[in-house]
Structure 1
């Protein structure tokens, strides 16, 4: 019998409660005429999943499977799916968002937009043996990626892609070459994806972290240099790393908030951009007068559209980018302790890259390889 993972509701205040994981036996779905059945091989965690377990995310479902990121193989198609027989046996990456087609500024209907996984807005989640989809709900997996790597890509890749390509480069990818870009909090999935994308485009990427070993690993992935945000004068240390021919930052990609504006504005060129996709330090950040006088642009950015997801996957395929996987729990969905250990890695910030659950065996019913 197939399985899925959900959370169980227990009493507690948001931020103090921690919902336990629940393993469920579920029937194998049967695709309708226009549907596709995907056997999941691997799924990965995002911070939204940790927030869901703390009731710090809106629209939580206690019935729908957790997790937004997954890779699997098409094993069955409905009778009305165009060229459906050609999909059988194809490895795919699930689209992690719903109801945002292509609008640049944001979802066409914001009230309907959301991510899959543990959400009342969609019954789909990748912490499941099977996912029932439409052809619009996935992209072909790049052939150079393992299932673990492909499962590590969707949500963080989409978020990083929108921050870089849409918010900073305004769609002009060629303009990235030679720019100085600071990416904060390296080690998280979005930050690492942004590093890989920007480096592939020829940008000079600098990073911050509180862990010296993560700074060194980032350099092996293409970062020009890095500084510890635990140092009181990290902004001055960063300034010393910049080339005399371009002694300023063009942009910042940030997921922490806090004092990033006050610190980075000293290094940003006039008209520089700060793209913020999260605020893990706190829900507020300071906006200083220096930023106003330098015409700095502060841009909020979220996940991204279906069109941006397609562009991101194609970019990964073209540039042979491999998402960074921190650790894989290989016991499957039934190994609750193993899955919980991944959440503990996230809680304590131990990961460098994505935390992945191997769901199916290395060779499943369609012969797909992990």
Structure 2
């Protein structure tokens, strides 16, 4: 089967390679992938910036397709079922946080950038009826991460004011869409006027260019501050987020692409009783609830560009450039 694997010896660090179709265990199924989606995680693996990297591993966490073969303990009625895959594995019993065995499909175990992928049957869910293959493939990792950040950790309520930073990437767009569907007053930030315009068309009430030194003053004047901020950058941007958070408000961050903050206005945090909350992926319960929410609210993932398998390097390069506006898709069929 055709697959996209990590190969650190090559200039582009990935290669399109024919490998054997995997054999199934008793509780596993083989999914014929129709479409898969890139995440920043995939590009970080290509750059050697992710732990546990192994050459020859099929990359990719997001995928949607059709069950073609089932293990002996899985009902054969599932063959032909249209599904999406939950890439969060071994979360554990604690809904509050993942266990030590937690891992994400696609590294170090073979992922979704292949014509077929084997997964445990408990990772399988019906493809939401309102989504096509590309949209379904875009949903799992980013959709789950955003759902936990906004709904579980952020405990968003209708009518609250929300700021989603770095609008343009998959998680941020899902976060904005979920908040809008929940009835929140949504604002976004980005360095791209085009991305801010797209957010407005999706229903955001306004946007801020975070490269503008006065964006915090503008935001406070326009909104009076935010009840909830969803962020993935951290670093020295945290100070600005604290400035625009209402007393008792929450800052939920699911990444730290800009590293650790050098200075934190601790007095502002404790005096205003601001909550700083970390969030990572999501539990099996979160994934099920996310799918219900997406289907009930007819949320459609924003697709940036669809590439063929042979265009894998171009797809990864687009992710690396940061030009994407929505999810980057690799189509297999």
Task: Tell me whether the two structures share a fold, i.e. TM-score over 0.5.
Answer: yes
For the residues of structure 2 that align with 1:8 and 1:201, how far apart are their CA atoms? 43
Aligned partners of 1:249 and 1:267 also within 8 Å = yes
Residue 95 of structure 2 corresponds to 104
Alignment RMSD (CA, Å): 1.6
1:38 is matched with which residue: 31, 53, 56?
31
Q: CA deviation at 1:148?
A: 0.5
Q: Note the 1:1-370 alignment, pairs <5 A.
A: 2-10=1-9, 20-81=13-74, 84-107=75-98, 109-110=99-100, 112-117=101-106, 119-120=107-108, 122=109, 124-169=110-155, 176-242=157-223, 247-284=224-261, 286-288=263-265, 289-329=267-307, 331-332=308-309, 335=310, 338-360=311-333
Residue 364 of structure 1 corresponds to none
For the residues of structure 1 that align with 2:262 and 2:232, how far apart are their CA atoms? 11
For the residues of structure 2 that align with 1:128 and 1:266, how far apart are their CA atoms? 45
Distance 1:141 1:102, change over 3 A: farther
Provide Cα deviations, 1:164-185, integer angstroms capped at 9, x if missing partner: 111110xxxxx62100011000
Provide Cα deviations, 1:19-64, integer angstroms capped at 9, x if missing partner: 5112221222343433211100111111111111111111112122
Provide Cα deviations, 1:59-89, integer angstroms capped at 9, x if missing partner: 11212210100001011223321xx233121
Aligned partners of 1:102 and 1:306 also within 8 Å = no
Normalised by the length of structure 1, the TM-score is: 0.86
Q: CA deviation at 1:160?
A: 0.5
Tell me, what secondary structure is at the counterpart of 1:352?
A: coil
For the residues of structure 2 that align with 1:311 and 1:295, how far apart are their CA atoms? 29
For the residues of structure 1 that align with 2:181 and 2:262, how far apart are their CA atoms? 30
Residue 14 of structure 1 corresponds to none
Tell me, what secondary structure is at the counterpart of 1:303?
A: coil
Aligned partners of 2:92 and 2:102 also within 8 Å = no
For the residues of structure 1 that align with 2:272 and 2:218, how far apart are their CA atoms? 21
Aligned partners of 2:238 and 2:261 also within 8 Å = no
Tell me, what secondary structure is at the counterpart of 2:235?
A: coil
Residue 368 of structure 1 corresponds to none
For the residues of structure 2 that align with 1:211 and 1:147, how far apart are their CA atoms? 28
For the residues of structure 1 that align with 2:204 and 2:222, how far apart are their CA atoms? 12
Tell me, what secondary structure is at the counterpart of 2:199?
A: helix
Normalised by the length of structure 2, the TM-score is: 0.95
Provide Cα deviations, 1:205-242, integer angstroms capped at 9, x if missing partner: 11000001100100111211101011110011112322
For the residues of structure 2 that align with 1:139 and 1:154, how far apart are their CA atoms? 10
Structure 2: unaligned runs, 5 residues or longer: none
For the residues of structure 2 that align with 1:252 and 1:90, how far apart are their CA atoms? 38
Provide Cα deviations, 1:284-324, integer angstroms capped at 9, x if missing partner: 35321212211111111111112111111121111111111
